Amino acid sequence: MPFEQIKFYQTGTFTVGNRLLDISDRAVQSDTKRSNALNSGHRACRGCGEALGARYAVDAAMRAANKNLIAVNATGCLEVFSTPYPETSWQVAWMHSLFGNASAVAAGVAAAMKAKGRKEVRVIAQGGDGGTADIGMGCLSGMFERNDDVLYICYDNEAYMNTGVQRSGTTPAAARTATTPSVGPEPGNTFGQGKSLPLIAMAHHIPYVATASVANLHDLEYKVEKATVIHGARYIHVHVPCPLGWGSEPHDTIKVARAAVESGLFPLFEAEFGDVTAHTPIRRPQPVEDYLKLQKRFAHLFRPVRDEIRLAAIQSIADRNIQRFGLLEEVTR
């Protein structure tokens, strides 16, 4: 997001709200009239990053769309914990698609809106990393290629959490999952080439691609609101910690997400038509270890002995991101 001059805001734009800030400068989340698109009573785990990320994103989209919003949701944690008959916690027009076709169903909704001349209605598709990167890749690529008028938001908790923490295409190197257990000579997930959904989206040259994190609310809201009013295919990739799957403390969810961003492992950037156009600089650089140590899924890198080689390899992933996206460079107007 664009650089903000430090005005004397006490907490600037780091907290959700600020009584000293002009209301229009405060986050959507600070407003008592926020949509609460995902309301109380859902069955997400304590400290669920995805529940938080979904409310953040959809509330922001609702504001930008003036409440003219339809959401399509793939099968996964978000869908399951939010709509177990007879209870739904969604307060927006919402539909559960199937596992791999949220983008296609959303494209259908968008086509219907276009056919009916309802230009003001904005359509979002939501899915987890499994439903987007793996089983959903075909439909997603088709939606991008056609430039359908859909904003696809992927909540990446880096595994198939709802079915019991199995590895997905976005599971990071060395992470323990149920299908990449931390046993044997190479515990945890293998070091592959990784699958970067944002880069794949950029390769389709769609109008807008961005990454976001629950640790930086203002940045996330800015990107969602910006994306919501653009027409054409858009993609936002949100990093959401899963205390259960990652083995982190429920109260640490924001802290873990922040560590991912500040270490460079999860870079925050925006891209338009295939080119990176902006990045959110790291505020207080951290070594990747500070992030890894918070999660039991990486415990085998530290005990019984430190795995220096793999730790260094992970650090180099972060370093590469920092270099590639210029994450330590200041943003100037």
Restricting to residues 57-96, which ones interact with another protein according to CB under 8 A? 67-70, 72, 79-80, 82-96
Q: How far apart are CA 106 and CA 111, in angstroms?
A: 8
Per the CB < 8 A criterion, the answer to whether 113 and 123 are in contact is yes
CB nearer to another protein: pick between 73 and 321: 73
CB-nearer residue toward another protein: 142 or 287: 142
Pick the binder of another protein from 1, 57, 100, 311 (CB under 8 A).
Answer: 100
Q: Which is closer to another protein, CB of 105 or CB of 301?
A: 105
At which residue do the structure tokens 């002995």 appear? 305
Q: Is 156 in the site for another protein (CB under 8 A)?
A: no
Q: How many residues bind another protein (CB under 8 A)?
A: 92
Of 165, 242, 92, 61, the C-alpha closest to 82 is 92
Please list every residue from 218 through 257 that binds another protein, using CB under 8 A: 243, 249-255
Q: How many CA atoms lie within 13 A of 25 on its CB side?
A: 14
- ω into 86 cis (within 30 of 0): yes
Other beta carbons less than 10 A from residue 17's beta carbon = 16
Q: DSSP label at 173? A: T
Compose the 10-29 pattern: x for residues touching another protein by CB under 8 A, - for all others.
Answer: xxx-xxxxxxx-----xx-x
Residues 254-273, interacting with another protein (CB under 8 A):
254-255, 258
**Stretch 122-151: interaction string toward another protein, x if CB under 8 A:** ----------------xx-xx--xx-x---
Scanning residues 35 to 54, which ones bind another protein (CB under 8 A)? 36, 38-44, 46-49, 51-52
Cα separation of 289 and 70, whole Å? 40
